[in-house]
């Protein structure tokens, strides 16, 4: 009897299982600790990537585009540095989310159909490398830590991708050139197939749009031989999509 009375009168401590579930700590110090834990380096870098892309998008909407007729004078003013400036400047504009169509048209208007297409491809290669590197540094760790389920399978698919897979994704009208480069960097994709596939996918339209850009400033200089690869590119794109679709169906079976 005495032992029973002592057990009833005993003060229950917070850690005692019989005291019920522990109450959550809502003190300001705990809230600050949770915020610090949430603001890990991977989260900070990923937020920086999102802010950078948003800034590029706002700048693209606010900055006016130059007139096509004024573009040929740029090559004369740059002199011998015009090809280097065209490749580097075009790459930086692509990284800043400027559409590749505009870059290629401008390259054709400045340098002509064939040279403009070559410089536009150089700019696309450099921009793909920069965008992939930035996405890998700022976003890969965040994505790798949080992908689950179907997203994890999608990430593994990007990791296994060959040049053909990159070409297929590049030819799909899902997003701009720069955003695709950043997005690939956040996945486990390999850099060499990504760069090769990006150049192959960009080649057909580079020749076609450069020829159109050259025709805008010099209608008599339109080169049908330069525009011909564009039609071949559409055919090649359709063939690649068909092969990819058959490969996916075989893998599911």
Give the pLDDT confidence score for residue 234 in this predicted structure.
59
Three-state secondary-structure class, residue 62: helix
Q: Say how many CA atoms lie within 13 Å of 248 toward its Cβ.
A: 11
Counting other chains too, the contacts that 63-71 makes at CB distance below 8 Å and 24 or more residues apart are: 65/102, 66/106, 68/105, 68/106, 68/109, 68/213, 68/216, 68/217, 69/216, 69/217, 71/106, 71/109, 71/110, 71/217
Predicted TM-score (pTM) of this structure: 0.72
3-state SS assignment for residue 6: helix
Domain ranges, ordered by start, for the chain: 41-252
pLDDT at position 9: 44
- Which pLDDT value is given to residue 39? 63
Q: What pLDDT, on a 0 to 100 scale, did the predictor assign at position 238?
A: 65
User: Going residue by residue through the chain (253 aa), what tens digit of pLDDT does each one get?
Assistant: 455 445 544 544 444 444 445 555 556 555 555 544 456 888 899 999 999 999 998 988 887 776 666 666 777 777 788 889 889 999 999 999 999 988 998 888 888 888 888 999 999 999 999 999 999 999 999 988 888 877 788 888 888 888 888 888 888 777 889 999 999 999 989 999 999 999 988 888 888 888 888 777 665 555 554 555 555 555 655 666 676 677 667 766 6
């Amino acid at each position: 009897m005495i032992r029973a009375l002592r057990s009833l009168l005993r003060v229950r401590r917070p850690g005692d299982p019989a005291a019920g579930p522990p109450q959550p700590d809502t003190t300001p110090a705990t809230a600050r600790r949770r915020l610090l834990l949430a603001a890990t380096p991977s989260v900070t870098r990923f937020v920086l990537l999102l802010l950078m892309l948003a800034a590029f998008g706002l700048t693209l909407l606010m900055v006016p585009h130059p007139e096509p007729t004024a573009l040929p004078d740029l090559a004369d003013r740059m002199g011998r540095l015009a090809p280097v400036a065209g490749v580097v400047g075009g790459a930086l504009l692509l990284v800043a989310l400027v559409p590749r169509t505009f870059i290629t048209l401008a390259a054709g208007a400045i340098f002509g159909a064939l040279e403009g297409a070559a410089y536009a491809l150089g700019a696309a290669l450099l921009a793909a490398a920069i965008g992939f590197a930035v996405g890998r540094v700022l976003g890969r760790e965040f994505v790798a830590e949080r992908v689950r389920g179907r997203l994890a399978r999608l990430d593994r698919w990007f990791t296994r991708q060959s040049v053909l897979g990159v070409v297929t994704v590049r030819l799909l009208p899902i997003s701009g050139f720069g955003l695709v480069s950043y997005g690939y960097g956040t996945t486990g994709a390999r850099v060499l197939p990504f760069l090769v596939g990006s150049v192959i996918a960009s080649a057909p339209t580079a020749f076609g749009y450069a020829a159109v850009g050259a025709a805008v400033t010099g209608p008599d200089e339109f080169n049908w031989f330069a525009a011909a690869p564009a039609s071949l590119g559409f055919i090649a794109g359709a063939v690649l999509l068909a092969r990819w679709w058959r490969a996916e169906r075989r893998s599911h079976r």
